[in-house]
Amino acid sequence: MEIKEGCFFSWPEAFLADTEKVGGKGWNLARLDRYGFAIPRGGVLSADVYKYFLEENGLKIMVEEIQSVTLTHVNEEKVSAQITVLRERINSGFVPGYIQEQLFDGLKNIGISEIPLAVRSSATAEDSARASFAGVHDSFLNVRGPEYLLSTIKGCFASLWTIRAVAYRRKMNFKDDEVQAAVVIMEMVEAKAAGVGFTCEPLTGRQDVLLINANFGLGESVVSGRVESDEYLVDLSPALPRVIDKRIGTKKGQVVVKESGGTEFIHSDKFVDNQVLSDAQITQLGLLMLRVYEALGQGEQHQDVEWVFDGKGFVIVQARPVTVLPRYTYREIKDQPDIWSSSGLRDSNAMVQSTLNWRIAELHLNTNSFELFRYTGYPLLPGVQYVRLFGGRVYVNITVIQWVDYVSAGLDPADYESMFGYPVVIQIKDKGPYRGIAGMKRLRGLIKLQFKLLSIWRNDQQFYVRVNSLTESWRGSGFRDVQDLECIDLYNNLAGLMKEASVVFIAMMTAAIYPLMVLTKALHKYFPSKENGIINGLMAGRALITSAEHGYRLMELAELAGHDQDARRFLSSEADYLAWEKELKDNSPFKQAFRTFLTEYGHRGTDELDIINPRWGENPCYLLQMIRNSMKTADVSGLKARQQEIYLHAWQEVQQKVPAYRRPHMKYWLKRATKGAEMREMSKSILVKVFGSFRMLALELGRRFEERGIIQQQNDIFHCAWSEIFSILRKEWDGKGLAVLVAERKYRRRKSEEISLPVLIVGEVPKPVEQVKLSKGSSLTGFGVASGRAVGRARLIYHPHKGESLEFGDVLVAPSTDPAWTPLFLRASAVVMETGGVISHGAIVAREYGIPAVVNVLGVMKSISEGQMIEVDGDEGKIELL
């Protein structure tokens, strides 16, 4: 056997090699080096050397004999003897001369041939997402001189052949030839302190905190558990990690280096009461660990990090995935699986999240999911994971959310399906939500919640005025006068405002939900199975819904453009729409009206809850295209007439079947439902303004980082993590390697956008469901959310910017919609959405416009063909394939 490639890889060379050459530990270190982390100088001895070593020393037959040993026989005396002999033969074997020569030349080239070294096993399956091999293979510290080095390399080889290692491979279903021994060889860092950190809490499974263990001296004392080390629990919610709990260990000793090589444990009471790291150092280390999580774990896979403090800064000496994390949830639902859904989020968070946005979106959605229920008095479990990413897309834990809503306030999980598009997933064993002592507590919780909601509803305008004032003042300055460190404080201020806006938003969602629930129950008696259609008709054109209003205004602008010669010529040309201010004359009625529109709605945008996306005020090209496409068909008065017709028809049915004495009650709740829809959409508009302020901050940081040469262009900032940005602002990192991370994240995001994920995921692993094309005459069923019937060609549109194929009278079929889709509603005869519920954006706007709509039709994007004729029945919630 010959080794065709090099025997020893520097860190850059190790990155280009795969884990089959350099092992998991070696490749992770090479990645950290590439991404600009402080790691020791070093490299990796190829796993091919191990294979060659076995062959040259005649050991392959002995290895093959052990391969047939099963887990149940590993501890047998005969097997133990075989493994011991193999290990001894490895330790006494010889390393061929040309391998030694390449190794020593490699070490010399990177400047570590004459200094103490750390020699660590890096097996090819080690430190992977599948298995960590933690503590299974050997490492050696303070290695001095070439002979000692060769001995420790053979020691790493031999550590694959212990009872412990063989049993681990059998337990984890690894074949022996899947685990080959590469060896990491790197500079020995002088350790004032060292330890281990986890970007989660590994014993409980909490993922909103990180855990750090520390001792003075080398980290061996911490990893081996030889001393009671310090333990720090760190909160990850502020901009900078914050210590929330700490236990100062007894630390009766430390591991130090020996002059002759190797290490020793020194017993001492000198540091018993001393805290190893100051709170400021813990914050610095926490930020560094978050960077590892974002870089190696891609913000989804938690990391186990070994670190050293050399007196000046922190150095990472190892990082690997946390492969097993306990499920952290409420005790009462531990026997029920976590079920994750993207259904209720697809009208606001359907896109693959940008790196920078995810932390903001997580804050918003976590606040959305539980914050209001604190007011019920129920003891919420801190740190429960309500939202997470799968393949870059946001999913919510509907098992946990439905349980919290029920146990704290008695809310019925059955209401989730029609309102939000979430299926009922939890099993309730109680006979009724408000029976018994537990039921009384829920009732008290519900009353407390209602009082809090009333308070928010009554004071919403004050909050809106404050947000409008703040965002307008920020928009004027663009944060250019904010110093680097002040940007971190600004982030915290924005995060606080985001939490407030999120609480208001979820409160306004209840304002939209509750009246609909009352109306549905009241009308069911008179219109069994048709009550939703009646409600939808009664709400057509009745509300001042901000996201619908901008649709009306765009239609009016289209009519105006049709009568404005300059505007008509400009919009019909191939001109650059970004130049509309320059190209259109100031006396153009259209130009003046469009300016007013952008003043009111310029903070909105496509996929507006990801700050990577421009707002309409920055780039109005999409709006101008919609106006151009609508100039010939825009008819506001005709739309209003159709809405009035739908409303009168529904009210006529109510007059025919509902007794006169019951109608005032229904009118009252209809007014509340209409007002609730307005409140829900206005609170969403305000929430978007807060997201827009985060975008302004990001753009300013992007401008600075581009000027300093840290990133290539301003918009690259959206592919950075906040922990990376804060590290640079605090001058704890110079940003070296960030441009590489940005390029990789851009590529990964593009690939993720090509992948289709299921709406529901059970547990941890997505399992896409194959959708079957339906034949002519078949039907699909969902929830009717806007009444009426319409027949038209199905236009499958995945993004509003791809909506030019939608002609007047076509049926808009979409995965979900947000306010950017509103102009398309005005050309559609009906709307069908794959996800959504009664109060999702598409449902509210479709009811307002009087367009038949059916939502929560799972798989519709694959079940209907482009251009196929379909009939949409918004009353029955059905789609017929014609």
* 3-state helix/strand/coil string of 812-838: EEECCCCHHHHHHHCCCCEEEECCCCC
If asked whether residues 5 and 146 sit together in one domain, one would say yes
Does residue 426 belong to any structural domain of this protein?
no
Please identify, among 168, 188, 208, the residue that sits at the C-terminal boundary of a domain. 188
User: How high is the pLDDT of residue 2?
Assistant: 62
Contact 133, 125 (CB under 8 A): yes
850 within a domain of the structure (yes/no)? yes
| Residues 6 or more apart whose Cβ sits within 8 Å of residue 789 | 830, 852, 871, 872, 873, 874, 875
Give the residue from 204, 207, 250 showing the smallest Cα distance to 231: 250
Longest dimension (CA), the chain: 102
Cα 451 to Cα 7, 368, 433: the distances in Å are 71, 18, 19
Give burial (CB, 10 Å; 0-12/13-18/19+) of 646: buried
User: SS in 3 state form for 251-299?
Assistant: CCCEEEECCCCCEEEECCCCCCCCCCCCHHHHHHHHHHHHHHHHHCCCC
- Residues 557/810, Cβ–Cβ less than 8 Å: no
Rg of the chain (C-alpha set): 32
Q: Are residues 607 and 706 in the same domain?
A: no
Q: Considering the domain boundaries, does residue 532 fall inside one?
A: no
Other Cβ atoms less than 10 A from the Cβ of 104: the count is: 15
Which of the listed residues 150, 167, 188 is the one where a domain comes to its end? 188
CA–CA separation, 832 and 780 (whole Å):
11
Same-domain status, 69 and 144? yes
CA distances from 16 to 13, 34, 538, 743 (A): 5, 10, 64, 16
Are 521 and 579 found together in one domain?
Answer: no
User: Which among 165, 188, 211 is the end of a domain?
Assistant: 188
Sign for the pseudo-dihedral over CA of 688, 690, 693, 694: negative
As a whole number of angstroms, the distance between CA 148 and CA 304 comes to 29
Amino acid identity of residue 619, one-letter, is N
* 867 occurs within a structural domain: yes
Measure the CA angle with vertex 10, ends 7 and 15; round to 5°. Answer: 100
Q: What is the pLDDT of residue 857?
A: 87
Q: Tell me the sheet residues that pair with 316.
A: 307
Domain that holds residue 632: 546-675
- CATH code, 152: 3.30.1490.20
Q: Which helix (H) or strand (E) holds 811?
A: strand 811-814
In a domain, 262, yes or no: no
* Element containing residue 781 per DSSP (H, E): strand 779-781
For residue 462, the surrounding DSSP H or E stretch is: helix 460-477
Looking at residue 871, which CATH number applies to its domain?
3.50.30.10
Q: Which residues of 327-354 are buried (b: 16+ CB within 10 A; e: fewer)?
A: ebbeeebeebebbbbbbbbbbbbbbbbb
Q: Strands 339-341 and 760-762: what pairing?
A: antiparallel
SS3 789: strand
State how far the Cα of 191 lies from the Cα of 263, in Å rounded to an integer.
12
Question: Which amino acid does the sequence have at 281?
Answer: Q
Q: Which residue ranges of the chain lie beneath pLDDT 70? A: 1-5, 127-129, 132, 347-348, 416-421, 543, 767-777
> Is the same domain home to 837 and 848?
yes
726 and 872 inside one domain = no
Q: Do 602 and 667 reside in the same domain of the chain? A: yes
Asked whether residue 346 is assigned to any structural domain, the reply reads no
Considering the entire predicted model, what is its pTM?
0.90
Distance CA 156, CA 158 (A): 5
DSSP string for 311-365 = SSSEEEEEEEE---------GGGTTS--EEE-GGGTTTS-SPPPHHHHHHHHHHH
How far is 449 from 141, CA to CA, in rounded Å?
59
Both 670 and 716 in a single domain? no
Residues 469 and 574 in one domain: no
Q: Residue 236 domain-assigned?
A: no
- Asked if the structure places residue 325 within a domain, the reply is no
Question: Which residues lie closer than 8 Å to 462 by C-beta, 6 or more apart?
Answer: none
287 in Cβ contact with 146 (< 8 Å):
no
pLDDT score for 22: 94
Cα angle, residue 732 at apex, residues 731 and 734 outer, rounded to 5°: 70
Enumerate the β-bridge partners of residue 813.
Answer: 796, 832
694 shares its domain with 665 = no
Q: Do 122 and 41 lie in a common domain?
A: yes
Count: domains in the chain: 4
The answer to whether residues 806 and 853 belong to one domain is yes
**How is residue 735 written in tokens?**
């940003």
